[in-house]
Amino acid sequence: MKNRLEEIRKQRGIRQEELAAALRVSRQTVSSLENGRYNPSITLAFKIARYFGMKIEELFIYGEDEDEK
């Protein structure tokens, strides 16, 4: 699953550390999310979307063909 987390975070001038603190996760978790090495739980995805005032679908891009790989 791809995401726009890094793009949105940088547009808003938020550091990884700030986002991590707000979400109550580690900075490494934010980094892993941004680099596509980690897919968030549905709960974390909702927290991230709520933090940015966006819908989950605006932040996370799911491709149907990804399941076939």
CB atoms under 10 Å from CB of 40, counted, come to 22
Residues in a beta bridge with 2: 61
Q: How many residues does the chain have?
A: 69
18-48 per-position pLDDT tens digit: 999 999 999 999 999 999 999 999 999 999 9
Q: What percentage of the chain carries pLDDT values higher than 90?
A: 87
Buried-state track 11-39, b at ≥16 Cβ within 10 A, e below 16: eeeeebeebbeebebeeebbeebbeeeee
Global confidence as pTM: 0.86
Q: 59, 52 in Cβ contact below 8 A?
A: yes
